[in-house]
A and B are shown apart, each in its own frame.
Chain A
């Protein structure tokens, strides 16, 4: 049910000095991220964001803050997420915004908010940055899902503030930002209690919220501030000992330097090209640090991430992305070796690698087909080799000087959503083949024929056939059902073990996206449509 045209293109570039809905205050090892949503300050100035409810603009600021904590304030060990509103922590995604959004926007919005929450958990797990949700009031829906992404949840015990997931009983949809998954998989709430909790619109408060495992503690209002401060100090004391660099400022993305995204709306095909470093390549962590945000790897990862978001939100109909790389393979390989070398745990190299891993995982859940093209100009080396194995297919030209160069970085330092390296996922049947590819790369660049033998080419064609093969494949792909393709790709991109993330994207989101288009949610009488309207929803009670 697409009632509206695409929303105006959101800007993913922001900075704490320009935040409208959050304030980020850093005090030594502890940061405080306070949400106070401006009611008419969202992406659509017509929609009132009541009760600290959020839209994409609000979540972009959150994602930015989490990113900057890692890069600009690496000394921070604990981030307290709280609200600047009395009696309300956060009411979740704004319902009127959702109800009036197109289906593709809803899906992309949920995906982005999911990625932001997973980035919070990634920071906790890999960067020694713990998160403490200080729920100083009602914590509903997406508000509770935000809290669930934190390491600890403390709820005020004032006799009325609850945590809740009211989506099912109130809106006829799911808590789509990982709520259902984290309740049972992360917090390990008993499934029958989780069932009761998720159908109880008003939620659970006080002692019971602790007993059920929904929060870690409840604290009276008069002791709330002190308890949060104490728990933040405790978390800080227990935070992992990781290298915490001096911090660098992340500049505005502005014009791309290493990435280009060219879109042909008519054929619905985009060309995404990533270029290898041109100048001198850092040999040590200190040299990488000296380059700061201007270093190639960091800048390239940010641009790639940015380009993927633009692709999602600004070019809804583009279904196929042709991925190319260009430049000096030796330089790209050198960067890869630095990022996975002896200094890999130094702060700047670790954070750069983690950022690159997140950008690649953003690609993994982007609902577009990705075809890699490997030709003479290509530079699938070092970090860029990972793009090759991230794509749904690879077209390798059978010619001299066509080479790929997997490095040690592809041996697990850039894991996909399933926790495996993309090479491991690719060769699930014969794990030894992943090692073979890495061993071959250790010797130097791999020529096209060997790459094909090693299983890195979907189609291996000489110059007579190559262009035609590619043209036909592109045209064929463009003709297929976009929905079926998305479903198919998502089933194939992360085979192997399940993780929280694969369950969120593969199960929760998939069900949610189905429910979103069902008449019971968004039909004329659906619950989401009717929310806030004078009439009540009417359901088709056939179970499907």
Chain B
């Protein structure tokens, strides 16, 4: 049942854009079959209490109602246009581009496709989670995240269709052809090819991996290519909800663990997640997500900044926007030792963005640690591993570091890896906790209930209704 083009919520004047209409007419049915094939498994006919953006006005972007997911009204929204000039790089001060400059066409397309590919990928990764939800509240949040990742895909596909001609249409098609974890057509970034088959991983993913998305989108929100900047600005409002789901989700798991420990009880004995396992999952997901920022020293990053394609986090609030003649000091491993290296600032832009991300993650950890403290856990605190720990990208990749970032021998790594990262037994234990809880107002044994419901609804609201209802 395809949505008619007229019913697509948008603020891009879709009804008078023939080119866009033609492209979407072909793409939209493929999107819906993709959603049915690899979207949330077993819940396509359920009624879900979802938020839909129907306009960019304050009262329009958060419209709540029950909807079957395949009938969700995926829309196309850009932040309203304002007078902007390019805010950084070599062309700073020039008017922003309304169309793609030929010179940057390939680079922009690559940036957009790489970002876009993560959106459907995460829906695919999470497709089986509905079967083991800890509560209806969480189930609904999962689906909210899923449909919004779907909308983010729409947002990126809009850019490809509208601004990149035939190549753009082909790339848009391929976004629906690649599959997370497929050996033949995998998703572009490795972190998006791992299945997310338990809810602890889901919350860690939305906390750490989606947070990379936030910083990437924030950097693109500064772009000199105005349609990209305006698109990503609107996406950021939705992304904030995903981060909320992750951060509070982990917090509730920490809380459950802390409540038991505070009473001197063993979380394991009571079907909760023990502290050391939480730390291992933090180590894993933080390090995997750090890789998504790219190499510490990157000529692409320098080019993107110089060309005005991708800025820094909140570039518009910085004082200096050329980033020339400055350097960034970083420690890089060289021959088993760490050596300080001065990298031209522009080439270190990935690292600059990573700095902001690490700060943000630390803030969330502080919050979780408060939860531990409040519940009487005295000594144990969660910590972020060093950014050299367990990296697959950049100068630390292929080398071995402990969570403090000190170089260690491969042998030591092998001996201690299971202390730092989830082992097969750990994963089996987490999976053993995953039993669906779909009774109204109930939550699973391993997670505390949320402090409040969604959109003012009570906790025992039926956020997801079976098809018969």
Contact = CB atoms under 8 A, between A and B. Distances in A.
B324 A536 contact: no
A540 to B, nearest CB: 17
A222 B183 contact: yes
B178 interface: yes
Contacts of A533: 299, 302, 344, 347
Interface size class of A (residues with CB under 8 A): 10 to 19
Contacts of A158: 184-186
Nearest to A207: B170
Interface in B280-309: 299, 302-303, 305-307
Nearest to A206: B174
A534 B185 contact: no
A308 interface: no
A160 B188 CA distance: 7
A202 B104 CA distance: 12
Given A202-B106, A535-B306, A159 B344 contact: no
B134 to A, nearest CB: 35
Contact of A221 (B106, B183, B299, B346): B183
B444 interface: no
A201 B106 contact: yes
A109 B345 CA distance: 32
A531 B106 contact: no
B100 interface: no
A125 to B, nearest CB: 35
A534 B174 contact: no
A363 to B, nearest CB: 39
A328 to B, nearest CB: 56
Contact of A532 (B184, B188, B347): B347
B80 to A, nearest CB: 31
Nearest to B302: A534
A532 B295 CA distance: 13
B344 A534 contact: yes
Contacts of A202: 106, 110
B174 A532 contact: no
Interface string A211-247: 0000000001110000000000000000000000000
A201 B105 CA distance: 11
Interface in A508-544: 531-536
A169 interface: yes
B90 interface: yes
A533 B300 CA distance: 10
Nearest to B295: A50
Contacts of A160: 178, 188
B184 A221 contact: yes
A534 B323 contact: yes
Contacts of B346: 534-535
A202 B306 CA distance: 19
Interface string B332-374: 0000000000001111000000000000000000000000000
B177 interface: yes
Contact of B185 (A169, A220, A536): A220
Interface string A183-222: 0000000000000000011100000000000000000111
A50 to B, nearest CB: 9
Contact of A169 (B106, B178, B299, B305): B106
Instruction: Name which of A221, A534, A536 has the most chain B CB atoms within 10 A of its CB.
Output: A534
A157 interface: yes
Given A159-B174, A202-B110, A536 B183 contact: no
A202 B171 CA distance: 13
Nearest to B297: A532
A378 to B, nearest CB: 55
B132 to A, nearest CB: 29
Contacts of A535: 90, 306, 324, 346
Nearest to B110: A202
A98 to B, nearest CB: 14
Given A169-B106, A202-B110, A533-B344, A157 B184 contact: yes
Given A159-B178, A532-B299, A533-B347, 12 more contacts: A157-B184, A157-B185, A160-B188, A169-B106, A201-B106, A202-B110, A220-B185, A221-B186, A531-B299, A534-B323, A536-B303, A536-B306
Interface of B: 90, 106, 110, 174, 177-178, 183-186, 188, 299, 302-303, 305-307, 323-324, 344-347
10 contacts: A157-B184, A159-B185, A201-B106, A202-B110, A220-B185, A221-B184, A222-B184, A534-B323, A535-B90, A536-B303
Interface of A: 157-160, 169, 200-202, 220-222, 531-536
